[in-house]
Amino acid sequence: MRAARVHAYGAPSAVVVEEIPAPRPRAGEALVRVHAAAVNFPDVLMMADRYQVSIPVPFTPGSEFAGTVVALGPDTDGPAVGTTVMGGVLTGAFAEEVVAPAHVLRPVPAGLDMVSAAAFRVTYSTAYHALVSIGGGVAGDRVTVLGAAGGVGSATVDVATRLGMSVVAAASSPERLAVAAKLGAVAGVDYTRENLKERLKELTGGGADVVVDPVGGDHAEAALRAMRWGGRFVTVGYADGRIPRIPLNLVLLKGVVVRGFELRTIGEHLPEAVVSADAALAELVAGGMRPEVTSVRTLSEVAQALTEVAERGATGKVVIDMGAP
C-alpha cells in the first residue's frame, strides 16, 4: 500500500510517499481502508521529535481519519466489516490502510462526507471535552479561544457558540479572526497588534469564565491574566512551539483552575465523558454543524499539506483525500 513515511526527524518537506506492507489487525484492532485523513499540528511536532511522546523513526504520520472497516483482528468486537467509521490514532493515518483499536472507532454521523468526517473526530472531540468535560462550560459562559482559526480553535468556537456560550476569539490576523466570526465569535483580538490581556478583559466584560488554549507561548499567561476570579483555564497544546511557564502566584491570586486535556487518554480516565461527548456532537451535526475544511490535498501532496499546517498558512482543517488522483 502507499503511505507517507518519515525516515528522519525534521521539517514536513522531508516526508516521502512510498510502498510499504499493509498492516494486519491484532486482537482488539480493526483494519480500516482510509478514504480521507486530516492534518493536525501534533503531526508536525511528531515529525520534528518535539511532541510529548517521541515516535521512533521510520513511521507513518497522521492521526485523524475516516474510512471503511475491511477486517477485524481475532476475537475482536467492533464495527462490522463494511461500516464507515472515523477515528484517531497516534500515527499511521496518512496511508491507504490503517490499523486502529476497535474501541476508538465511531460511526460517521449522518450528513458528513468522508472529507468532513476525517476533519471532525479529533478536533471536535477535543473542542467539546476542553469546553465541557474538562472546562465545565455551560450556556451563558464567556469563553476565550486562542488560535481561534486553527483546527482545534475553529472547532472550539463552533461548539461553544452552538452550546450557547459567548466566544471572544484570539488569532494572528484580521483574516483569521474573520473565520472565527463566521463560526459565531462575538468579538476578536489580533494578538500580533493588540494588547491581548487588556482587550480580552474589555471584550469579556471583566474576564472569561473559560479559556481554551491550543497555542501556548506568551499568549497563555496573557489570557490567564485576563480571566475572571475562579475561571477555568484548559491547556490543549502548544502550536506556538513554547510550553508556557505560568507563575503560580497568578493562579493563587485569581483563584483560577488550570487543567490539561489530551484526547489520547481521556477514554481511559473518563470513559463516561466520551459517551456523553459523542452523543452531544452527533446532535450538533444533526443540527447542521460541519468542520471548516479549507484545503484538500492528495496523498502525493502530503508534504505540502503538512507545510500548510506547520507554517500556519491554513485556516480551518487541511485534509488529504486518499481517493483523489
pLDDT exceeding 70 applies to what percent of the chain? 99
pLDDT of residue 68: 97
Burial state string for 119-141 with b = 16 or more CB within 10 A and e = fewer than 16: bbbbbbbbbbbbbbbbbebeeeb
The grid coordinates of residue 61 equal 504520520
The three-state secondary structure class of 188 is strand
Q: Count CB atoms within 10 A of the CB of residue 181.
A: 18
CATH 3.90.180.10 placement within the chain: 2-120+291-321
> Nine-digit cell at 193?
497588534
The predicted-structure confidence for 65-76, as pLDDT tens digits, reads as follows 999 999 999 999
Condensed to tens digits (0 to 9), the pLDDT of residues 214-226 reads 999 999 999 999 9
Grid-cell match 472497516, residue found = 69
Structure-derived torsion over alpha carbons of residues 39, 43, 45, 49, reported in degrees to the nearest 10: -160
At residue 264, the pLDDT reads 80
User: Is domain 2-120+291-321 classified as CATH 3.90.180.10?
Assistant: yes
Per-residue confidence (pLDDT) for residue 117, from 0 to 100: 96
Asked whether the predicted pLDDT for residue 49 surpasses 90, the reply is yes
Mean predicted confidence (pLDDT) in 121-137: 95
pLDDT at 313 over 80: no
Q: Does domain 123-265 have CATH number 3.40.50.150?
A: no
Which residues are CB-neighbours of 298 under 8 A, at least 6 positions away?
A: 320, 321, 324, 325
pTM equals 0.87
139-153 pLDDT, tens per residue? 999 999 999 988 899
Residue 197 sits at the vertex; the CA angle it makes with 170 and 128, to the nearest 5 degrees, is 45
Buried-exposed string 222-231: b where 16+ CB fall within 10 A, e elsewhere: bbbbbbbeeb
End-to-end CA distance of the chain: 15
Question: In which residue ranges of the chain is CATH 3.40.50.720 found?
Answer: 123-265
Average pLDDT, the chain: 94
